[in-house]
Amino acid sequence: MDRRQQKTRNAIFQAFGALLAEKNYSKMTVQNIIDKANIGRTTFYAHFQTKDDLLKEMCVDLFSHVFSETLNIEKTHDFSMKTGNPRAIITHILYHMLDSNKNIMGILTSESGELFLTFFRQYLNKLLAARILEGSDMSDKGIPEDFLINHISSSFVGMVQWWIKNSLKQSPELLSDYFLSVIAPAV
């Protein structure tokens, strides 16, 4: 994708995120997104077929970064030197949820939140299997790995929902500590 296309795509993501903070997903139209992004209809459809595709791509774009193998220095946090550290990985995810540039909170508090959470759980499951549960063996306790992964990812999603409900009062670092303390017996 060239820079012009990336710039247009980012404008669409920004417009979509801003609109999610203003109105319900179900009442939002492609025309609303086009107007907010200041682009043409053809341009929108060159990137996305529907607003559902836009939501899915926004999730894929965000999650491929958040769950990537390498962490980069960013404006609100730097975990670039902590690759593989479960606390750093979880804190990094939470910082992105707090970061307003993708308006994740707008998505999570709208009716599109369930769709977002479905994609989020899929990525969490992969992350848990690949990096956080690596080397732990619960088979001696009769707990299947897929059950454990589902349990921990559901717990993480529940924690994020609790955090939002409580106005994001806790820092990502403190929330990571809470979460790791709760799942420690399982891993």
- The tens digit of pLDDT for each residue in 125-137 reads 877 776 666 666 6
Domain 50-186 sits in CATH 1.20.120.1150:
no
Rounded CA-CA distance 20/84 in Å is: 33
pLDDT score, position 184: 80
- Domain ranges, ordered by start, for the chain: 1-48, 50-186
Per-residue pLDDT reduced to its tens digit, 66-95:
666 665 555 555 554 455 677 877 888 888
Strand, coil or helix: 145: helix
State the number of CA atoms in the 13 A half-sphere of 113 facing the CB.
Answer: 15
- Rounded to an integer, the average pLDDT of 111-126 is 77
Which of 4-13, 113-122, 155-164 shows the lowest mean pLDDT across its residues? 113-122
Of 121 and 71, the one with more pLDDT: 121
Q: Are 16 and 61 in contact (CB under 8 A)?
A: no
Instruction: Domain 1-48: state its class.
Output: mainly alpha
* Vertex 179 angle, CA 107 and 164, to 5°: 30
Residues in Cβ contact with 121 at an 8 Å cutoff, skipping those fewer than 6 apart? 153, 154, 157
Q: For 37-66, write each residue's pLDDT tens digit.
A: 999 999 999 999 998 889 888 877 777 766
Listed in sequence order, the residues at least 6 apart from 37 whose beta carbon sits closer than 8 Å to its beta carbon are 8, 11, 12, 14, 15, 16, 44
More confident residue, 155 or 84: 155
pLDDT of the residue at 85 = 73
pLDDT band at 101 (very low <50, low <70, confident <90, very high): very low
pTM of the entire predicted model:
0.70
State the average pLDDT for the chain. Answer: 79
Report residue 120's pLDDT band, with 50, 70 and 90 as the boundaries.
confident
